[in-house]
Structure 1
Amino acid sequence: MAANNAHKAATDDQSVAETQYDTLAIEQSYLAEGQSRRVDEIRYAIKRLQSIPLTALQKKPEINIGSVVQLEKDIDKQQWFFLAPAAGGYRCKLAVQSNTINIVVITPQSPIGAAMMGKVLDDEISIQIAGKNITDFITMVN
């Protein structure tokens, strides 16, 4: 809807440039293009998430798509990672009994996701973030 509105605004008679410095129509067309791309990305992510087989969500020893993982340094913060094929960076909170659990969606393409793939409980992972080597241990895999 937003992409359609931006497209209409970009092609509207009111958006015709009055001077060479009037860039409203160009700005509206960039906005429409960006919003259309974002819609396509979201549709693609939804398809990828819907394609996760239910067996991938079952508890297993090796980390793969569908795994929920906690690292040692994140125990106190109740921080978990959900390894998914898309939607990396999405964050949510779940209330479980009297606890709040923080979940971050990561993909195998992310540095931490790539480091976790194929690992098992108590394995060590090492990643480099902003020029710093970070090492941690996998404490929970669901």
Structure 2
Amino acid sequence: MDKFLLQQQVLERLAEDLLQAEQAARAAHETATHEENIAENKYDTLGLEAAYLATGQARRAEAIRQAMVHWRQFRPLPYDASKGIQLGALVCLVNADDQQQQLFLGPDGGSMKLLSGDQFVQVISSDAPLARAVLGKCEGDEVSIQIAAVRQQFEVLQVL
């Protein structure tokens, strides 16, 4: 798997998300400012609700723009066993049932699932609980995380 191709897929997906958020913000703004949505009494809140929605969509678009900046500046380095797993690592985990999971650790804002060849790769930020659990680990190390009442155990099978 090529980390740089994964990075390009993340940027493409973020660009699609940005386009959708901008369109949603424009539509909500148009609804909020349309003359038919001027409040006639205190119970007529459609315009106000649309204004709140437009503000939220605009904030979402800005967060996506910031994520795109971080992902453009991101330079994944090759795995260095002396440092263990770092940001930019492509990690293969295996659980007790021999189910494998591919992770790509990247900057904030890129949490998504991608298809690389015939394998799914989960892109996670370093703030994700699983990412925090694997940071600094090496191939063969055990990783354990608690999700709600369930403790999950993994072994680091491979790191690129």
Q: TM-score range by the shorter chain?
A: 0.7 to 0.9
Corresponding residue for 1:43? 65
Which of residues 86, 89, 93 is equivalent to 1:67?
89
Q: Distance in 2 between matches of 1:15 and 1:77?
A: 53
Alignment of 1:106 with 2:124, yes or no, is yes
Secondary structure in 1 aligned to 2:39? coil
Corresponding residue for 1:91? 113
> Is 1:78–1:102's contact at 8 Å kept on the other side of the alignment?
no
More helix by share: 2
Q: Distance in 1 between matches of 2:136 and 2:98?
A: 25
Secondary structure in 1 aligned to 2:29? helix
| Unpaired runs of at least 5, structure 2 | 1-21
Q: Which amino acid aligns with 1:73?
A: N
Q: Which amino acid aligns with 2:63?
A: E
Which of residues 121, 133, 136 is equivalent to 2:154?
136
> Is 2:108–2:127's contact at 8 Å kept on the other side of the alignment?
no
Question: What displacement does 1:51 show?
Answer: 1.5
TM-score norm. by structure 2 comes to 0.76
Corresponding residue for 1:121? 139
| Unpaired runs of at least 5, structure 1 | none
Q: Number of residue pairs matched?
A: 136
Which of residues 24, 44, 58 is equivalent to 2:78?
58
Matches within 5 A, 1:25-40: 25-40=47-62
Q: Which amino acid aligns with 1:93?
A: L
Q: Distance in 1 between matches of 2:41 and 2:124?
A: 47
